[in-house]
Each structure stands twice: as structure tokens, then as C-alpha cells.
């Protein structure tokens, strides 16, 4: 299993925050892929096309993701996915000089 690491914001419902504090959220590889794609706000059909899965498989994974995150709504799962994507994005290397500027 793959562990998705992120902090649940304080403004999320208590159940989701408490669940995330108790243990880290563990998602399967496909759940992780669906979770990170949820950040786009795409429909199940759009996610299915992008991930080359059936719509029913995407629905199954979204249901499992929401349950593992404490029974949050799809919108809340989308927001968490966007936050997780943002925190997983590599930080730009800061360094002065002309070499730091792509040409």
C-alpha cells in the first residue's frame, strides 16, 4: 500500500481531522491515482477516461477514499487532493545568478 501524507486543515470537520491524526491514511496505488486526479474536479466519467478505468471502478475508489478520510464529502476530498498535490509538488530551487533562469 502507498501512504499519502498530508495534513488535514483545522477547518475540516472534526471526524476527518481525528482520523488523520490517529493513523496515516493508506491508499492503494489506484486509490492514490484517483485521489490525486480528484484535485481537478473532474467527473467520474472524466476520471475514468484519464486513468483508463471503468466509471464503476472510479466510483468504487472514490467511495473508499472518502470512507478512509473519515466520511468526508466529495468536494472535501477534492480540496484535500488539491492540497496533497500542492505539497507533493517539488519546490523550486532558489539560487541567484543567471544559471537559475531557464532560457
DSSP string, 39-85: TTT--HHHHHHHHT--HHHHHHHHHHHHHHTTS--HHHHHHHHHHHH
Taking the mean position of all CA atoms in its chain, how far away is CA 25?
Answer: 11
d(CA 43, CA 41) in angstroms, rounded, equals 7
pTM of the model: 0.69
- Domain 28-89 belongs in CATH node 1.10.10.10: yes
Cell of 12: 475540516
Q: For residue 13, give the 3-state DSSP assignment.
A: coil
Q: CA end-to-end span of the chain, whole Å?
A: 40
What does the pLDDT look like over 43-92, one tens digit per residue? 999 999 999 999 999 999 999 999 988 888 999 999 989 988 887 666 66
Give the single-character DSSP code of 21.
Answer: H
Q: What are the boundaries of each domain within the chain?
A: 28-89
What confidence score (pLDDT) does residue 47 get? 96
Amino acid at each position: 500500500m502507498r501512504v499519502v501524507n498530508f495534513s488535514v486543515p483545522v477547518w475540516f470537520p472534526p471526524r476527518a481531522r481525528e482520523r488523520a491524526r490517529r493513523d496515516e491514511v493508506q491508499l492503494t496505488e489506484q486509490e492514490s491515482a484517483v485521489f490525486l486526479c480528484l484535485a481537478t474536479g473532474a467527473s467520474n466519467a472524466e476520471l475514468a477516461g484519464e486513468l483508463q478505468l471503468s466509471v464503476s471502478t472510479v466510483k468504487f475508489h472514490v467511495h473508499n477514499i472518502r470512507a478512509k478520510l473519515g466520511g468526508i464529502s466529495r468536494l472535501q476530498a477534492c480540496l484535500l487532493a488539491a492540497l496533497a498535490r500542492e505539497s507533493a509538488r517539488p519546490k523550486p530551487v532558489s539560487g541567484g545568478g543567471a544559471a537559475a533562469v531557464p532560457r
